[in-house]
Amino acid sequence: MKSSLSLLFVLLGLFCHGQNLIPRPERADKREGEFLVAKQTEIYSPAFPDLFDYLNDHIERVCGYRLAAGGHRRSIQQISIEKHEGGLSEEGYLLDISPSRITIRANDRGGAFYALQTLFQLMPVSVYRPDAAQHAETFAIPCFHIEDAPRFAYRGVMLDVSRNFSDKAAVMRYIDWIARHKLNTLHWHLTDDNGWRVEIKKYPELTSRGAWRGPGEVLPPSYGSGNERYGGFYTQDEAREIVRYAADRFITVIPEIEMPGHAMAALAAYPSLGCLGEGYEVPSVWGVKEDVFCAGNDSTFRLLEDVLTEVIDLFPSEYIHIGGDECPKVRWKACPKCQKRIRDEKLKDEFELQSYFVQRMEKFLNGKGRKIIGWDEILEGGLSKTATVMSWRGSAGGIEAAKSGNHVIMAPNTHCYLDYYPTRDLENEPRGIGGFLPIEMVYALDPHEGLNAHEREYILGVQGNLWTEFIAELDHAEYMLLPRLAAIAEVGWSYDRKDYPDFYRRMASLRKQYDINGYDYGKHMFAADSAATAPAGR
Ligand code: ACM
Ligand code: ZN
């Protein structure tokens, strides 16, 4: 009887903890016992010294005290973060929790950082209470042996700050959500028709004029800005601060400077860069605009090169996103300068002119040691071998690009557009842009769909996109992102993740952390019938 009871507890332990992590680790073995964190516990972190503070900040939030740094000692309870020489892949880690010691081993700082995220998830939920500092003198972490590494190197979220502006503090909060889910990239959509959001010293009007819209147009309140003057931008110092804040959380910030379309804010600031040369306003209403950068005008390229020169100075990312989506060709068709460019460069049509535009900017950025990412329209009219395609109009563009040997990030609107409604019951929902994207659908994304083993190597990873036409407030953004971000995270991180019911069960634990942190998140997946109605195998 006693032994079957203890077997039951072992099984319960497995059920309660072993599978409760999100994203699901490659391997997690529950072991007997627990490690007790107490005041005399030490942290030993010679290889990743800044993680000493990161871990201690967390401990302080939950217990109200900081742990001391210790030399490597077996005689004392330690949390030890060590460099692992060889054998672990990038961002991978080993996490061994025994009653006397917690040992983290990683090749790189990313792996060590993610081991800490896993450790935080294993801490009992009670320690996450805002008032926990008064209660948690000590707390127990269950013993485990975990071996883990991400499936994809690129795991991102796109944040549109043009349609509605998020200030620096809000962007930092986004970064915290991203880090908690072991995602490693913030794709920062900094420019669009409805506002230019980053200071460019050489062209001050981009922000003095291009960052502001209205007053004038009468808008429904759902557009956030109403018909008031509305806007904002990041100074270069603020952008640098955000890049640093993200880097501390192992997140790369990739800036997007949109071209040749979605350029109204820039044209309002510098009208000579458009085919008509005058009459542009920063529009309050979003959409695909016919006015785009003139591709026949050399000053367009001069300005964009100058802008990118400042941008690469702010952002150390390997990639710069240059947009490329939704560029109507009406103005180019009627513009003598654009038509002259087509003739001079012996281009076939306006699609090849777009390709000329993109490739010219790519050459410029390559010359500065950077690579480009563009939305999947950059395939139209011909693509260089070195551009990375972000597939958004479904997965087809990504599949085509991977088959032709280009790197790809999968962000198809069929699975990754987090501004779509998470439910069909719209009565009590905050505003979405339309569509229907329940978390089961997000989870069902297979970034390798339609590709053979060789072609799969071109898939860098996945990304969730948060466009903000109708998302003016941070809690609304939080609601749209969570918990669907957890599904993006698992698609990007976990190898073996066909099992939606298992994901659903593990979400119960992450959900408690959302609750205790006061996060505003969609509850639809937890409705009684949601798992039951999830299509089998999703
Ligand atoms: C996009 O959603 N227009 C990339
Ligand atoms: Zn033109």
**Which one of 325, 327, 380, 409 would you pick to mutate in the ligand 1 pocket, going by the greatest count of ligand atoms within 8 A of its CB?**
325
- Spatial neighbors of 142 by CB under 8 A, at least 6 apart, are 13, 17, 30, 33, 34, 97, 122
What's the gap in Å between 131 CA and the centre of ligand 1? 42
Give the nearest ligand 1 atom to 413 CA: 2
Q: What are phi and psi of 434, to 5 degrees?
A: 135, -160
Residues 359-368 as b/e (b if ≥16 CB within 10 A, e otherwise) read: bebbebbeee
Instruction: Specify the pLDDT at position 218.
Output: 60
Angle, CA of 63, 65 and 71, to the nearest 5°: 115
What's the gap in Å between 357 CA and the centre of ligand 1? 18
Q: What are phi and psi of 365, to 5 degrees?
A: -70, -40
Catalytic residue flag (residue 262): yes
Which residue, among 110, 120, 107, 187, has the nearest Cα to 153 in the 3D structure?
Answer: 110
- Per the omega criterion (within 30 degrees of 0), is the bond before 260 cis? yes
Give the nearest ligand 1 atom to 375 CA: 4
What's the gap in Å between 116 CA and the centre of ligand 2? 52
What's the gap in Å between 46 CA and the centre of ligand 1? 44
The CB density around residue 204, as the number of other CB atoms within 10 Å, is: 12
Q: What is the pLDDT of residues 511-521, one digit of tens each?
A: 988 988 889 99
Q: Which ligand approaches the C-alpha of residue 469 most closely?
A: 1
Give the nearest ligand 1 atom to 326 CA: 3
Instruction: Specify the pLDDT at position 76.
Output: 84
CA distances from 172 to 37, 70, 365 (A): 29, 31, 27
Give the nearest ligand 1 atom to 467 CA: 2
| Three-class secondary structure of residue 54 per DSSP | helix
Q: Which of 326, 400, 449, 473 is catalytic?
A: 326
Instruction: Specify the pLDDT at position 536.
Output: 33
Give the nearest ligand 1 atom to 262 CA: 3
**Which one of 286, 321, 467 would you pick to mutate in the ligand 1 pocket, going by the greatest count of ligand atoms within 8 A of its CB?**
467
pTM over 0.85: yes
Q: Which ligand approaches the C-alpha of residue 291 most closely?
A: 2
Instruction: Specify the pLDDT at position 14.
Output: 45
Alpha-carbon dihedral angle through residues 490, 494, 495, 497, given to the nearest 10 degrees: -40
What's the gap in Å between 324 CA and the centre of ligand 2? 16
- Spatial neighbors of 58 by CB under 8 A, at least 6 apart, are 116, 120
Instruction: Specify the pLDDT at position 534.
Output: 40
CA 164 – CA 27 distance, rounded (Å): 41
Q: Which ligand approaches the C-alpha of residue 260 most closely?
A: 2
Q: Which ligand approaches the C-alpha of residue 325 most closely?
A: 1
Catalytic residue flag (residue 476): no
CA 412 – CA 465 distance, rounded (Å): 9
Which residue's CA lies nearest to atom 2 of ligand 1? 392
Instruction: Specify the pLDDT at position 346.
Output: 98
What's the gap in Å between 489 CA and the centre of ligand 1? 21
What's the gap in Å between 345 CA and the centre of ligand 2? 14
Q: What is the phi-psi region of residue 366: left when phi exceeds 0, alpha when psi lies from -120 to 50, beta otherwise?
A: alpha
Instruction: Specify the pLDDT at position 438.
Output: 96
CA 119 – CA 272 distance, rounded (Å): 55
What's the gap in Å between 325 CA and the centre of ligand 1? 6
What's the gap in Å between 333 CA and the centre of ligand 2? 8
Q: Where are the beta strands (DSSP E) in 53-196?
A: 68-69, 78-83, 93-98, 101-106, 139-148, 154-160, 185-189, 191-192, 195-196
Ligand 1: lining residues by beta carbon, under 6 Å: 325-326, 375, 392
Q: Which ligand approaches the C-alpha of residue 338 most closely?
A: 2
The CB density around residue 187, as the number of other CB atoms within 10 Å, is: 27
**Which one of 326, 433, 463 would you pick to mutate in the ligand 1 pocket, going by the greatest count of ligand atoms within 8 A of its CB?**
326
Instruction: Specify the pLDDT at position 215.
Output: 72
| Three-class secondary structure of residue 70 per DSSP | coil
Catalytic residue flag (residue 192): yes
**Which one of 160, 193, 375, 466 would you pick to mutate in the ligand 1 pocket, going by the greatest count of ligand atoms within 8 A of its CB?**
375
Contact (Cβ atoms closer than 8 angstroms) between residue 118 and residue 148: yes
Q: Which of 91, 192, 291, 419 is catalytic?
A: 192
**Which one of 292, 392, 433, 463 would you pick to mutate in the ligand 1 pocket, going by the greatest count of ligand atoms within 8 A of its CB?**
392
Give the nearest ligand 1 atom to 465 CA: 2
DSSP summary character for residue 431: P
In the chain, which residues have pLDDT < 50? 1-3, 5-18, 529, 531-538
Classify strands 252-259 and 230-231 as parallel, antiparallel or unpaired.
unpaired
Cα end-to-end distance, the chain, whole Å: 39
Q: Which of 262, 415, 448, 476 is catalytic?
A: 262
Which residue's CA lies nearest to atom 3 of ligand 1? 325
Give the nearest ligand 1 atom to 390 CA: 4
Instruction: Specify the pLDDT at position 370.
Output: 98
The CB density around residue 197, as the number of other CB atoms within 10 Å, is: 26
What's the gap in Å between 272 CA and the centre of ligand 2? 10
